[in-house]
């Protein structure tokens, strides 16, 4: 009886420690004084929302590999110095039109491998606050609707964009565009962006003249 009780207590202790360790998984962060950067890693923590104990001074935030379903104006409201956001490999289905309203310094945005549909998930004006700051945008490997059209209206606000990765509508995996110059699609795929590729990989038939 005593041996059985000790055995049960040992199992209970192991289970208790495992639960406590799992519950205590937290974001890790470091400060780079030379670059004046606060880098926060919240990747692969099974998060359904961004924790509220992350430093407001955060400049680089990695929330990839979690269970985030939407980005709203409140999601990023605490990070007005944010420069890099990696929200890839989540369950994102929607971007609120004001999602980036309070992140005017964002330079790199990775939304790859989510569940975004261009017609419904990327509203007009969502990127407008990032028009002068955003240099790199990855929205590839999202599209699963062959009847969708390119989000050219939303992307047209990004006047400083230099690199764009996105799904193609002609059955190819993604387009990789380095910008800018003016480009218009002559492939009949509905792409008419005020952007300019100088290099295209797996991309569209574009007229650069």
The set of residues, in sequence order, having a beta carbon less than 8 Å from that of 36 and lying 6+ positions away, is 59
Sheet containing 37-41: order of strands: 28-32, 37-41, 60-62, 84-86, 108-110, 136-139, 163-166, 175-178, 199-201
- Give the CATH number of the domain where residue 113 resides: 3.80.10.10
Contact 79, 87 (CB under 8 A): no
Assess if residue 17 is contained within a domain.
no
Say what the pTM is. 0.74
Contact 65, 44 (CB under 8 A): yes
How many Å apart are CA 179 and CA 194, to the nearest integer? 10
Assess if residue 53 is contained within a domain.
yes
pLDDT per position as a tens digit, 21-68: 333 468 999 999 888 999 999 999 999 999 999 999 999 999 999 999
How many Å apart are CA 190 and CA 180, to the nearest integer? 19
* Total number of domains constituting the chain: 1
Contact 49, 78 (CB under 8 A): no
Of the two residues 120 and 208, the one the predictor is more confident about is 120
From 54, 49, 52, 46, select the one nearest 28 (Cα to Cα).
54
Assess if residue 2 is contained within a domain.
no
Q: What are the two backbone dihedrals, phi and then psi, of residue 23, each rounded to the nearest 5 degrees?
A: -70, -25
pLDDT per position as a tens digit, 82-133: 999 999 999 999 999 999 999 999 999 999 999 998 777 889 999 999 999 9
The confidence score (pLDDT) of residue 164 equals 85
Assess if residue 10 is contained within a domain.
no
Assess if residue 86 is contained within a domain.
yes
Please give the residue range of the domain that contains residue 62.
Answer: 25-169
Assess if residue 35 is contained within a domain.
yes
Lowest mean pLDDT among 108-112, 176-180, 188-192: 188-192
End-to-end Cα separation, the chain, in angstroms: 87
Assess if residue 43 is contained within a domain.
yes
Contact 188, 149 (CB under 8 A): no
Assess if residue 187 is contained within a domain.
no
Q: Where are the beta strands (DSSP E) in 6-120?
A: 28-32, 37-41, 60-62, 70-71, 84-86, 94-95, 108-110
Record the tokens describing residue 148, joined without a space. Answer: 């969708």
With tokens 């400060």, the residue in question is: 31
Cα 87 to chain centroid distance, Å, stands at 3
């Amino acid at each position: 009886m005593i041996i059985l009780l000790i055995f049960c207590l040992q199992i209970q202790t192991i289970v208790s420690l495992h639960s406590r360790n799992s519950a205590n998984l937290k974001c890790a962060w470091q400060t780079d004084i030379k670059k004046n950067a606060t880098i926060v890693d919240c990747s692969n923590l099974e998060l359904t929302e961004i924790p509220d104990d992350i430093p407001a001074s955060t400049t680089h935030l990695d929330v990839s590999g979690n269970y985030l379903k939407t980005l709203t104006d409140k999601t990023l409201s605490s990070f007005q110095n944010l420069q890099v956001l990696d929200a890839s490999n989540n369950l994102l289905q929607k971007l609120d039109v004001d999602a980036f309203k309070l992140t005017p310094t964002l330079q790199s945005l990775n939304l790859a491998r989510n569940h975004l549909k261009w017609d419904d998930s990327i509203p007009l004006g969502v990127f407008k606050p990032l028009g002068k700051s955003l240099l790199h945008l990855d929205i590839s490997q999202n599209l699963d609707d062959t009847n969708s059209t390119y989000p050219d209206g939303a992307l047209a606000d990004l006047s400083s964009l230099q690199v764009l990765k996105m799904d193609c509508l002609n059955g190819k995996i993604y387009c990789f565009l380095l910008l800018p110059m003016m480009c218009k699609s002559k492939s009949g795929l509905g792409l008419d962006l005020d952007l300019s590729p100088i290099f295209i990989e797996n991309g569209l038939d574009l007229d650069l003249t």
